[in-house]
Amino acid sequence: MTSPETPELDRLLTTAAAAADPAGGFGWLDEHGQRTPGKVPETWVVARMTHVFGLAAAWGRPGAAELAEHGRQALVGMLRDDEHGGWWSDAHRTGPKQAYVHAFVVLAGATLTRVGLPGGPELLADALQVWDEHFWDDDAGAAVEEWDAAWTTCSDYRGANANMHGVEAQLAAADALASRGDDARAAQLRDRSRRITERLVGEARDRDWRLPEHYDPAWTALPEFNRDAPADPFRPYGVTVGHQFEWARLIAHLGTVVDLEPWLLDASTQLYRVAVQRGGAPDGQPGFVYTLDWADRPVVTARMHWVMAEALAAAAVLGAVTGEAGYRADHEHWSNLVELLVLDTRTGNWHHELTPEGQVGHTTWTGQPDAYHVAQALLLPRLPVTSSVAESVVRAAGVNPAR
């Protein structure tokens, strides 16, 4: 068995393990790598951590399977709404039912299933049933965004962010189900991912590769949405540079299992190119800004850790797919920048937000709660390119536990 773990990934996972809350799930780590007192586990964090530790269990990291099970228990227990179905946003068990949150529950279930951990298939089946019944809109070829707790009223808002992670989750679920012999269901989920990608990336193509994030119920873009709240962590105004990189990578993953039209294959390199050219140091400071306006001017100039992580991940995947040296050069350059500015040597995680001058910022994020983006950025350069990270990890490990 070949392990893709590196010293950097080891330090990250060691810190991430400290997020395990004895009361259930994973808490919110502060800038010292300690759980924040009084802050209850959030479902998207728990699902992402479960995914990450599920991956680590596949290559035999000590304690990873137990941590993945710790996350799964929270997802099937305190975070699940047993009355109405689906998942709460956090352990307070209030608020709406969100596609973004449910996409990560699907991802967690898919990863646990693909790497052969107990309870994975049941969690995946439950999460996909909720996704199918409440979020997937087959007429639109995309997912709706949000329901009230009892699933009686659907929000008018439609979002690219939740759908982007829906693509990721559905591709992972398809790999998990295909590994268990359900090729028909896998093909359906991959086709859904293609339809979402064609819709949203097609919008970007029509706007010179500026990808709108916000839409009305008819899927008409709302370019001025949240102009008065530009630093929103999930629905910021304008063009989100990190999502350009993320879509570029997801298209490459999708292309390993679905025959894509030539324009969509080209879109992968175009989205990457404009993210680099428009989002990289437009204010003269190193790194990528969070958002741009529709004339490519910086809006939120904070440097978010996940944007750099997705830039590195996209460079690794596109470099492997195309063989072009420019992607490898980008990856090396940005890796050096991480070492200089982004890496927190005390915790092994990355500073989640920096000012343009390189100081720790708090405009959008506090603490270091998320290991998902960084773990994948560290893993993908060491893995074969497939349609999901779990599939790539399993193949690199040389086993097929789901069979």
User: 217: helix, coil or strand?
Assistant: coil
Element (H, E) at 97: strand 97-98
Q: How far apart are CA 361 and CA 275, in angstroms?
A: 22
- Which of 331, 351, 352, 373 does the annotation list as catalytic? 373
Best CA proximity match to 33, nearest among 53, 17, 54:
17
Given 51, 70, 214, 243, the catalytic residue? 243
Indicate if 373 belongs to the active site: yes
Q: Are 235 and 246 in contact (CB under 8 A)?
A: no
Assign residue 118 a region (left: φ > 0; alpha: ψ between -120 and 50; beta: otherwise): beta
Residue 211: which residues within 8 A CB-CB, separation 6 or more? 160, 200, 201, 203, 204, 239, 240, 243, 244, 247, 271
Q: Closest Cα to residue 256, out of 321, 310, 199, 195?
A: 321
Residue 16 CA to residue 14 CA, distance in Å, equals: 5
Query: Distance (Å, rounded) from C-alpha 268 to C-alpha 38?
Result: 42
Q: Give CA separation, 29 vs 35, 287, 307, 346, 393, in Å.
A: 4, 24, 19, 13, 26
Cβ burial, residue 236 (10 Å; 0-12/13-18/19+): buried
SS3 at position 50: helix
Distance of alpha carbon 329 from alpha carbon 67, whole angstroms:
36
Distances (CA, A) of 285 to 5, 19, 227, 282: 32, 33, 24, 7
Contact status, residue 243 vs residue 211, Cβ threshold 8 Å: yes
CA dist 292 and 240 (Å) reads: 7
Active site residue 70: no
3-class state of residue 76 by DSSP: helix
DSSP letter for 36, please. Answer: P
Q: At which residue do the structure tokens 């750099």 appear?
A: 308
- Provide the annotated active-site residues: 243, 373
